[in-house]
């Protein structure tokens, strides 16, 4: 069992139960999955560029991404129906925990001028979204081998009742959220 899971079960769940007055352990917030989305710009529509991005995503996540196709043609965006417009990876279980540990402890520390994540990126369901400008912050990506630079959105889907519960849970497991200035 990974150290993150042990920490969650032995330290974090009891804290959350006492903080929010939760009696049943099954009502405590948990992470269900992590979804990583990459949008493909219109100038990267050739097959080789898409394959380069697929290979980088495989290295980062340890899992092959699913291609997201355009549902209809839109002339102003220069997209045709059935054209690849994005890539998506859904992580659960062990891969999710490994990715989360790597994201919090290694990747975000390598982001230039990183001072913490904003505390207002939670939606009403308690999910948290992080936008990364490029893939170079991940340790698996070597800058010399990068053919296409791309950004990605990482969404941490939680099973929390409120955004406050999700925020407290993610803070306790190591999400580096900025301290709010009240002045």
Name the residue ranges covered by the structural domains of the chain. 29-173
Alpha carbons 5 and 174: distance in angstroms, whole number: 12
DSSP state at residue 179: P
The residue to which tokens 């980088």 are assigned: 56
Alpha carbons 174 and 4: distance in angstroms, whole number: 10
Instruction: Report CA torsion sign: 136, 152, 90, 106.
Output: positive
- For the cut 80, the answer to whether the pLDDT of residue 42 exceeds it is no
- Return the closest-CA partner of residue 64 out of 87, 82, 45: 87
- For the cut 70, the answer to whether the pLDDT of residue 142 exceeds it is yes
Dihedral angle of Cα 49, 51, 52, 53, to the nearest 10 degrees: 90
Helix (H, G, I), strand (E, B) or coil at 82: coil
Q: Is 42 exposed, middle or buried (0-12, 13-18, 19+ CB in 10 A)?
A: exposed
Q: Mean pLDDT, to the nearest integer, of 148-165? A: 90
User: In terms of DSSP bridges, do strands 152-158 and 31-39 run parallel, antiparallel, or are they unpaired?
Assistant: antiparallel
Q: What is the percent of the chain with per-residue pLDDT over 90, rounded to a whole number?
A: 21
Helix (H, G, I), strand (E, B) or coil at 149: coil
For all residues of the chain together, what is the average pLDDT? 85
- Domain at 29-173, CATH from 3.40.50.460, 3.40.50.620, 3.40.1080.10, 3.30.1440.10: 3.30.1440.10
C-alpha separations of 53 from 110, 129, 146 in Å: 20, 21, 9
Dihedral angle of Cα 156, 173, 101, 9, to the nearest 10 degrees: -100
Taking only the tens place, the pLDDT of each residue in 49-95 is 888 888 989 999 999 999 988 888 877 777 788 888 889 999 999 99
What's the pLDDT at 44?
Answer: 60
Helix (H, G, I), strand (E, B) or coil at 72: coil
């Amino acid at each position: 069992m990974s150290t993150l899971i042990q920490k969650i079960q032995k330290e974090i769940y009891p804290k959350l139960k006492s903080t929010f007055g939760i009696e049943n352990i099954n009502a405590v917030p948990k992470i269900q999955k992590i979804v990583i989305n990459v949008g493909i710009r219109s100038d990267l529509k050739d097959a080789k560029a898409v394959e380069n991005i697929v290979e980088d995503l495989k290295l980062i996540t340890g899992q092959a991404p699913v291609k997201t196709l355009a549902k209809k043609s839109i002339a102003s965006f220069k997209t045709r129906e059935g054209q690849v417009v994005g890539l998506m990876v859904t992580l659960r279980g062990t891969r999710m925990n490994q990715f989360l540990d790597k994201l919090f402890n290694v990747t975000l520390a390598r982001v230039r001028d990183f001072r913490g994540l904003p505390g207002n990126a939670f939606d009403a369901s308690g999910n948290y979204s992080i936008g990364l400008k490029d893939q170079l912050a991940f340790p698996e990506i070597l800058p010399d081998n990068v053919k296409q630079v791309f950004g990605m959105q990482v969404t941490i889907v939680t099973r929390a009742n409120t955004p406050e519960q999700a925020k407290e849970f993610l803070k306790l497991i190591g999400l580096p959220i900025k301290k709010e200035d009240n002045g």
